Amino acid sequence: MILADIDHCVGCRACEVACAEKHLGEVKGEAVGVEALLAARRMHVGISMGGTKPMPIQCRHCEDPTCLFACITGAMHRDPATGMVLVDEEKCVGCWTCLKMCSFGTIMVDQIGHRVLKCDKCFMDRPPACVEACPNNVLIIEEVEYVDQDACIGCGLCETLCLRGAIKLVDTEKGRKSQINQDLCKGCGICAASCPRDAIKMRYFTDEKAFETIAELLEVA
């Protein structure tokens, strides 16, 4: 999944420009310079409260996307294959309802095409344009979960539980083992929590951290 290490973001907007560049071909009509940027980009750099902290803002492809509730034409939909929330730019009529439903403000306005634009994670092009462009390693594709294939017994429980089809059993030299597709994995941890052999680990929110947090909460209570 795409992680943003916002401490190092300087607000250079290279990610925005790269995103726009990648999608310039989809702009409807003539546009140059800033206009073209605004009509093609699907993410943006915002400055957080207090006015000092820049950060890249992309669609999170939420599990419970409120933008889907808003769409009056069905243009906004979840793609069953990749699990991403996408907008059918031809079906969109530019009613602007979805913009105010997204709490994170990730949906962009295309004034030229009179429709909304949405991060599509560059479909399956890897790396995504924003990740490639960032000069400061703020945006990175990171493995947030990984499988210890020596411990894995190939029971397939993880595969049945994953909502996104991100973890599957594959043939390896050591037999049938789970493998995570890092593009689809959202780091939710369902597989890690359910693995009977504890073969799946979280990279950031580790078991140790989880127990620490629980201990802190118990102290407060």
Of 24, 66, 151, 212, the residue at the interface with another protein (CB under 8 A) is 66
Of 106, 130, 178, 200, the residue at the interface with another protein (CB under 8 A) is 106
10 is a contact residue toward another protein (CB under 8 A):
no
Q: 17 burial class (0-12, 13-18, 19+ CB within 10 angstroms)?
A: middle
CA-CA distance, 132 to 145, in Å (whole number)?
A: 22
Stretch that binds another protein, among 20-28, 51-59, 175-183, 199-207 (CB under 8 A): 51-59
Q: Where do the DSSP E strands lie in 119-165?
A: 139-141, 145-147
Stretch that binds another protein, among 21-29, 47-55, 142-150, 175-183 (CB under 8 A): 47-55
When the beta carbons of 80 and 196 are compared against another protein, the nearer one is 80
Q: What are phi and psi of 57, to 5 degrees?
A: -120, 110
Of 47, 124, 210, 215, the residue at the interface with another protein (CB under 8 A) is 47
Distances in whole angstroms, Cα of residue 120 to Cα of each of 48, 116, 132 = 23, 12, 15
First CA to last CA distance, the chain: 34
Q: Residue 77 CB, nearest distance to another protein (Å)?
A: 9
Q: How many residues bind another protein (CB under 8 A)?
A: 34
Q: 10 burial class (0-12, 13-18, 19+ CB within 10 angstroms)?
A: exposed
188 is a contact residue toward another protein (CB under 8 A):
no
62 is a contact residue toward another protein (CB under 8 A):
no
Contact 200, 148 (CB under 8 A): yes
Is the peptide bond prior to 128 cis by the omega test (within 30 degrees of 0)?
no
Q: Which of residues 72-101 bind another protein (CB under 8 A)?
A: 72-74, 91, 93-97, 99-101
When the beta carbons of 103 and 136 are compared against another protein, the nearer one is 103
Pairing between strand 76-78 and 85-87? antiparallel
CA-CA distance, 18 to 26, in Å (whole number)?
A: 14
Q: Which of residues 107-166 bind another protein (CB under 8 A)?
A: 107, 109, 114
Of 24, 104, 135, 198, the residue at the interface with another protein (CB under 8 A) is 104
User: What residues make contact with another protein under the rule CB under 8 A?
Assistant: 45-51, 55, 57, 66, 68-74, 91, 93-97, 99-107, 109, 114
